[in-house]
Amino acid sequence: MALNATNRKTKNELPKPGADALGKMPPQAPELEEAVLGAVMIEKDAYPTVADLLQPRSFYNSQHSLIFEAIQDLAATDQPIDMLTVAEKLKQQGKLAEAGGITKLADLTNKIASTAHLRYHAQIVAQKATARDLIALSSKISEQAYSETQDVSELMQYAESQVFEISQRQMKRDVTQIDPVIKEAFERMRKAGENEGNISGTPSGFTELDKITSGWQKSDLIILAARPAMGKTAFVLSMVRNIAVDYRRPVAMFSLEMSNVQLGNRLIMNVCEMEGEKIKNGKLTSQEWQQLETRVTALHGAPIFFDDTPSLSVFELRSKARKLKREHDIQLIIIDYLQLMNASGMNFGSREQEVSIISRNLKALAKELDIPIIALSQLNRNLESRGNGKSDNSVDGKAPQLSDLRESGAIEQDADMVLFIHRPEYFRIFTDTNGNDLRGMAKIIIAKHRNGAIGDITLRFRAQYAKFQNVDDTDEPMDMPPANGSNYISTASKMNSMNISDADGISSKDDAPW
């Protein structure tokens, strides 16, 4: 492909454009560049004012770029910054003459009478640099677009990743004094107190879970992890139903493994409480058709948005999520699942590095949109060899731990919460140490909670309907057999086999009639 690794410019590699085809000079502000450099060299506390805005490449004039690089080096080693120290640093680097010599430095300092507007001047210099980056990027994209050998999809991903890199450099937040922070915290507490159940975030619909979390909190990255066949997708779809149907809050789900129709089938199973095989083959009695038509109306008009783009990149997700937030005020985003995402347009030495970039960007997106993001994650096989199900601690012997997260380091670090799904009956463990029946039960383990308590809660898992619900819920449909998940053994997800059923018992073939 034409856009190979050598062509993938990073934020520091985009060339400075010269005069374009229309004879226009690139955006620049040489007088303000001089004003910024002069102010930094005459005022000892000036550099911290501009340090977060400017880099050497922000300066269009190459001499100015060299001078600011020397200033940056001095600041990094806590050395004083003035005309003489900058000159000495440039001399040590062998760049004094290239930077214009001592005469240039003297001219810069002599032109400055005040540093009062230093921050404003630096912002303009930074904006001009961003404009030049966009011009350089558009020129490169235009050149590649003319190539007959260029893969258009790859070019689009490259363009999006580079625009993302440029936009990230523009995301600067000022330091905030404590008063408005305390005011906002009190306002959120007041609203939480007014809500039923003291839910301050987006409720999951699972009572015991919401008691611990107070709902999914804004800007949080939540990782929901489990081995295949534990019911990750069933759990989030049950939650999607609760949030969108019961609370009428808009929710979006990005599925990299299942199609939109498959997700629709699973929701129909969940809401109508009908077995997946019947949903797939349409072999329903007249009474079941009536039940289906009656119950499915709950989904009509529900603020649920599905996206089944395969191999979704973090840059595509960011673009789509922004649009969903802007147009539909999305309150929660779910990603199924993290390990199937990619960070195309970047080079990585290992998959762990790529997953690290993905998780970091998911956290940044949650903060930017100020909504919770739930990302499903696979676990490694460590727990398969842990415990034999016969010990006194048999119920917890196969329970997941943070160390079981696949590519765990970055995910565990970036996540505000990490939850695991554990179903003892899957491991042929049917009673706990107190003799309680574990069939049809699932344990949700909160293993990490940055802003709250950790602990375990128990839910009922009705496998034939791919549905999680509160233990005390009694919503058995009329004329339907009672839930009994004890004899149901679900199969592995498509990640392990493309020809078998998915993790929660519905066919992975996209041939359902709905």
C-alpha 494: how far from its chain's center?
23
Phi then psi for residue 420, to 5 deg, are: -120, 150
Q: Which of 337, 334, 422 is nearest to 376 (CA)?
A: 337
Going from the C-alpha of 513 to that of each of 264, 289, 504, the distances in angstroms are 10, 13, 19
CA distance 454 to 471: 20
Burial 413-426 (b: 16+ CB within 10 A, else e): ebbbbbbbbbbbbb
467-470 and 455-462 strand pairing: antiparallel
The sheet with strand 332-336 has its strands ordered as: 304-307, 251-255, 332-336, 373-378, 221-226, 417-422, 441-449, 455-462, 467-470
Q: Which of 56, 113, 128, 58 is nearest to 86 (CA)?
A: 56
CA distance 198 to 210: 9
Going from the C-alpha of 356 to that of each of 91, 339, 353, 401, the distances in angstroms are 40, 11, 5, 19
CA distance 192 to 204: 15
Cα angle 245-466-456, degrees, rounded to a multiple of 5: 85
Burial 174-183 (b: 16+ CB within 10 A, else e): eeeeeeeeee
DSSP state string for 286-323:
HHHHHHHHHHGGGGTT--EEEE--TT-BHHHHHHHHHH
Is 40:71 a contact under the CB 8 Å cutoff?
yes
251-255 and 373-378 strand pairing: unpaired
Q: Spell out the residues 6+ positions from residue 355 whose beta carbon is closer than 8 angstroms to its own.
A: 338, 339, 407, 410, 411
Going from the C-alpha of 152 to that of each of 2, 142, 147, 165, 288, the distances in angstroms are 10, 12, 10, 20, 48
Q: 247 preceded by cis ω (within 30°)? A: no
Annotated active-site residue in 165, 257, 316, 407: 257
CA distance 119 to 125: 10
Phi-psi region of 455 (alpha: psi -120 to 50; beta: other; left: phi over 0): left
Q: Which of 442, 455, 377 is nearest to 412 (CA)?
A: 377
CA distance 141 to 265: 41
Question: Is 368 a residue of the active site?
Answer: no
Give the residue numbers marked as catalytic.
257
